[in-house]
Amino acid sequence: MEGKPVLHYFKARGRMESIRWFLAAAGVEFEEKFIETAEDLNKLKNDGSLMFKQVPMVEIDGMKLVQTRAILNYLSTKYNLYGKDTKERVLIDMYTEGVADVNEMMIRLPVCPRDQKEATIAKIKEKTTVHFLPAFEKVLSHGQDYLLGSKLCRADIHLVEILHYVEELDPSLLANYPLLRALKARVSNLPGLKKFLQPGGQRQPPTDEKMLEEARKVFKF
Amino acid sequence: MMASKPKLHYPNGRGRMESVRWVLAAAGVEFDEDFLETKEQLQKLQDGNHLLFQQVPMVEIDGMKLVQTRSILHYIADKHHLFGKDLKERTLIDMYVEGTLDLLELIIMHPFLKPDDQQKEVVIMAQKAIIRYFPVFEKVLRGHGQRFLVGNQLSLADIILLQTILALEEKIPNILSAFPHLQEFTVKISNIPTIKKFLEPGSKKKPPPDDIYVRTVYNVFMP
């Protein structure tokens, strides 16, 4: 019997959140082992569990997978959300990488120095409105339910996750993108995601100053 | 109908396109390049809707305009059997490539750091390579004793690692001194005919970034 995937990370969004979103949307139950102390982290680093001594790490199918993209590539293939052929896969890859560029900025925002925060937020807003949102709205102008057409794929999940973060940053940013708002509603209502996003679900809250202060004390950075 | 050569759109320098040049060369695929030298050229690509996210690298290949470095690399690797024989090998290759790309990212960003920070960053790169990344690959090679990192055949992982090792050696000549298997790996992979050709003068391999390259990048990409 196959066990559930086990996620090893801090109790925070960071680089694990996109993996949580994906598994939830794919309807895959998962366990989490939260790294809560410096000792927890050192244990993982020293027992050979982490290829590059870094998390995220996901235990699945007898492997200890690291590197967010490698993990998501494996999961997407395993759960059939990576398209049906090479042409679909490369399209999915391009969409996914575009989302990852924006997600990278979102991930770094909580740890950005206070005096740079406003400038960083402005940069995020610029990138999303100039490069990112228009591109995806245009893709959806084909009038079908999902980015690739009638079938859900990983890129829809990754994109909708980011749309949630964009909305958290500034709801008005999504005002001019009706097709993206429709995709967001459609994907967020998938049974697995609906549960994930409700109170008590496995989604992590935004990283705020208090969480960061606690983490700094515990992990001494 | 004969397939046309892939066409690469990027400034005339390494940057994020160099990995693509490496993989195409290793696969024995000839390609053309349209070098971006001015803001107007980039604007033309953007206005013509050739760039999905208004960014380069962009590679015209098999009737598509591919963007995003990893997407391009994966497509070429799939097409030319550089991604292992099954999902398990593919995933191992993926993990190795992603780790190596983290290290390569420091090299890519280096020319654009403030001069005062550049020397410090070389030290950081060296530490990361020697402490976090090289030991992993040294152990893998020592463990199976094979020429290639995964599955006893050339893969994306070998090519990107070699690219990164050689780029680091340009800045830190003795960086492999504690890694005998990686030294052997470097020699063996460099001697693969397609890669050997790419490493010879006159190939499409680009030289280390200089002031002209940095200035071109600012000219093309800064608003």
pLDDT digits (tens, 9 = 90+) for A92-124: 999 999 999 999 999 999 989 989 999 999 999
Please, which residues bridge with residue A8 across strands? A33, A57
3-state secondary structure string across B136-158? HHHHHHHHHCCCCCCCCCCCHHH
User: What is the overall mean pLDDT for chain A?
Assistant: 95
Phi, psi (degrees; rounded to nearest 5) at B200 = -85, 155
ipTM, two decimals: 0.95
Phi, psi (degrees; rounded to nearest 5) at A99 = -65, -40
Of B53, B90, B97, the CB nearest to A132: B53
Residue A157 has pLDDT above 50, yes or no: yes
pTM higher than 0.90 for the full model? yes
Interval B16-72: pLDDT, tens:
999 999 999 999 999 999 999 999 999 999 999 999 999 999 999 999 999 999 999
Phi, psi (degrees; rounded to nearest 5) at A46 = -90, -15
Put simply, whether B98 touches A (Cβ < 8 Å) is: yes
Q: Which residues of A touch B78 (CB under 8 A)?
A: 86, 89
Pick the residue from chain A with its C-alpha nearest to B73.
A90
Please give the Cα distance from A74 to A138 (Å, whole number): 28
CA angle B96, B97, B98 (to 5 degrees): 95
Please give the Cα distance from B216 to B210 (Å, whole number): 10
Gyration radius (Cα) of chain A, Å: 18
Residue of B71, B100, B128 for testing the chain A interface, max A β-carbons within 10 Å: B71
Per-residue confidence (pLDDT) for residue A220, from 0 to 100:
79
**Token reading at B216:** 């071109």
Cβ atoms of residues A101 and A123 within 8 Å:
no
Please give the Cα distance from A110 to B30 (Å, whole number): 45
Cα A154 to chain center, whole Å?
11
Res. A1 pLDDT band, cuts 50 70 90: very low
Residue A30 has pLDDT above 70, yes or no: yes
Q: How far is B133 from chain A (nearest CA, A)?
A: 7
Pick the residue from chain A with its C-alpha nearest to B71.
A93
Pick the residue from chain A with its C-alpha nearest to B140.
A51
Cβ atoms of residues A145 and A10 within 8 Å:
no
Interval B133-158: pLDDT, tens:
999 999 999 999 999 999 999 999 99
Per-residue confidence (pLDDT) for residue A2, from 0 to 100:
65
Interval B122-136: pLDDT, tens:
999 999 999 999 999
Put simply, whether B1 touches A (Cβ < 8 Å) is: no
Res. B1 pLDDT band, cuts 50 70 90: very low
Please give the Cα distance from A199 to A220 (Å, whole number): 31
Interval B160-203: pLDDT, tens:
999 999 999 999 999 999 999 999 999 999 999 999 999 999 99
Which residues of A sit within 8 Å Cβ distance of B? 51-54, 63, 65-70, 73-74, 77-78, 86-87, 89-90, 93-94, 96-98, 101, 130-132, 135
**Neighbouring residues of A103: CB distance < 8 A, sequence distance ≥ 6:** A18, A158, A161, A162, A165
Give Cα separations from B88 to A13, A92, A96, B101, B148 (angstroms): 27, 21, 21, 20, 16
Q: Which residues of A touch B68 (CB under 8 A)?
A: 93-94, 97-98
Interval B58-100: pLDDT, tens:
999 999 999 999 999 999 999 999 999 999 999 999 999 999 9
